[in-house]
Every structure is written in structure tokens, then in C-alpha cells.
Structure 1
Amino acid sequence: MPALPTNQESAVHIDHQQIWETYTSAWKADNVDDKRALLGASLADACTYQDPLASTSGWGELMAYMANFHQQVPGGHFATRRFRYHNGQSVAQWDMLNAQGQVIGDGVSVGRYNEAGRLVTVTGFFDT
């Protein structure tokens, strides 16, 4: 007789790396509707974001910060080099790329997720 699944095995699997990649795709999206859809698929409503240059609360402030980033780095976006997840938290190592795909910076971000798999906090670390 096969073993019965544990509660953990029977729970719906959430792909936290895919959630992370959806979130980082929002940094590349160049129109507000696409950006909002990507954030809706990856962030909790009351999310917070922090890095050495900014601290935001909610989608509106984060989207404004993303728009400012695109003014400074047109076509700028991020590529995850390594992703690790456990117990509701992730660490992602990433490269910042320009519009031509050249690496112009790198960093690490820590994410915390809610039970639905949405990011509640994102904290970025990079040299300024």
C-alpha cells in the first residue's frame, strides 16, 4: 500500500522562483499596465521595498521608483544569477543590465513571502 502524503506534500506547490522572476520582470516592463499586472502576480498588496537609495510602501511608490530607475537607466533590467528559497524567504543574486544586455552592476536581494506565495518585503543590497 502506498504511503499517505504528509500535509506538506499535499499542499499546493508554489514556485517561489517563478514568483521572483515575475517580480523582476516588472522592473523591465515599459508600460504601467504591464508593470501593474506583473506586480499583481508577484507582490502582496501591502508590500514594502528597500535598498540603499529608497524605501517604498505599496505598489504605487514602488512603481514610481521603477519609473525613476528607467529615467536614469533607459532599458535597464535585472537578470537573476542564483536563487535560493526556504521557509518563506529567498535570496537572489542578480546582475543589473543596460538596454543592450551589458552588465552594469550587481547585487543581492532578500524576499519574504506570504502564505499565498506573494512577496511581502524585498530588500536589495548593492554598491551605490
Structure 2
Amino acid sequence: MEQSALRDTWEVYTGSWSETDAAARQKIFEQCLNPDCEYADTHVHVNGHDQLAAYMTEFQKNVPGGRFVTTEFAEHHGRSLAHWNLVVGEDKVVGKGASFGQYHADGRLKQMSGFFLPFGDN
């Protein structure tokens, strides 16, 4: 798979974090996530579309209007590393982090791991 295709998949996935309509989010998931996907960060470990959607709903309650902006992206052998900013409002950065992704043979993400960086140290 070409790097641009992995990056495109990653960007579709990050967009799903700010989608508030459940049906629209499910359509996004179908494009970019394997049905048996696995997501983990320091707060949670979930499997599949339904559990991830529920976690995203909680994220949106805790960070209204929050969205992720990829600042760096690298990939090889069906894996990616993305550095990102968590942004609210008019591009106010409220957090930073990095995420690892692993992609299924069909090009969709099958594993995602998020890491939140100490905000004052980056």
C-alpha cells in the first residue's frame, strides 16, 4: 500500500473523532476501520466499532469541539506513526500526542494506540 493511501486512511480515521452523528460516524468507520479493530490509550482498551464509537462519544462530551490535527506522519510495512495536536475552537492546541496504527490487508486500520504527551514538555 502506498504511503499516501495510509495517510488518507489515517486522516479519515482522525476525522471520525469529531463526528457527532452516530450514523455518519459508522459510515466513516466502514471506510477506514476493520470491523474487529482494536483501540487503546492510557484511559481505555476497546474492540470493534461499537465500543470505539461509545468511547468517542465520551471524548466529545469531555472535549466539546475537539479534533485531532496530524502534524507528522510516517509509515512502513503496514504500520504508521502519527504525531498530532488536540485542537478546540479556533485552532487552540489543548494537547499533543502520538499514535501508532497497524493496517489490515484491505487497507483499513486494525489496531490503533494513542499516547498523550505531557503538554508542557513538547
TM-score > 0.5 by shorter chain: yes
- 1:127 shift after superposition: 4.0
**Which ranges of structure 2 fall in alignment gaps of 5 or more residues?**
none
User: What does 1:21-100 correspond to in 2, within 5 Å?
Assistant: 21-100=11-90
Give the aligned residue type for 1:117.
G
Q: What RMSD in Å do the two structures reach over aligned CA positions?
A: 1.4
> What residue is the counterpart of 1:9 in the other structure?
none
Give the aligned residue type for 1:96.
L
CA distance in structure 1 between the aligned counterparts of 2:54 and 2:42, rounded to whole angstroms:
16
Task: Please state whether the residue corresponding to 1:59 is helix, strand or coil.
Answer: helix
Q: Tell me if the contact between 1:77 and 1:99 (Cα under 8 Å) persists in the aligned partners.
A: no
Q: Tell me if the contact between 1:74 and 1:99 (Cα under 8 Å) persists in the aligned partners.
A: no
Question: Which stretch of structure 1 is more off in the superposition, 87-96 or 32-41?
Answer: 32-41
Number of aligned pairs? 117
TM-score, normalising length: structure 2: 0.91
Identical aligned residues as a percent = 33
> What residue is the counterpart of 2:115 in the other structure?
125
Task: List structure 1 segments (4+ residues) > 3 angstroms apart after TM superposition.
Answer: none
| Pairing partner for 1:109 from 92, 99, 111 | 99
> What residue is the counterpart of 1:7 in the other structure?
none
CA distance in structure 2 between the aligned counterparts of 1:37 and 1:81, rounded to whole angstroms:
25
TM-score, normalising length: structure 1: 0.87
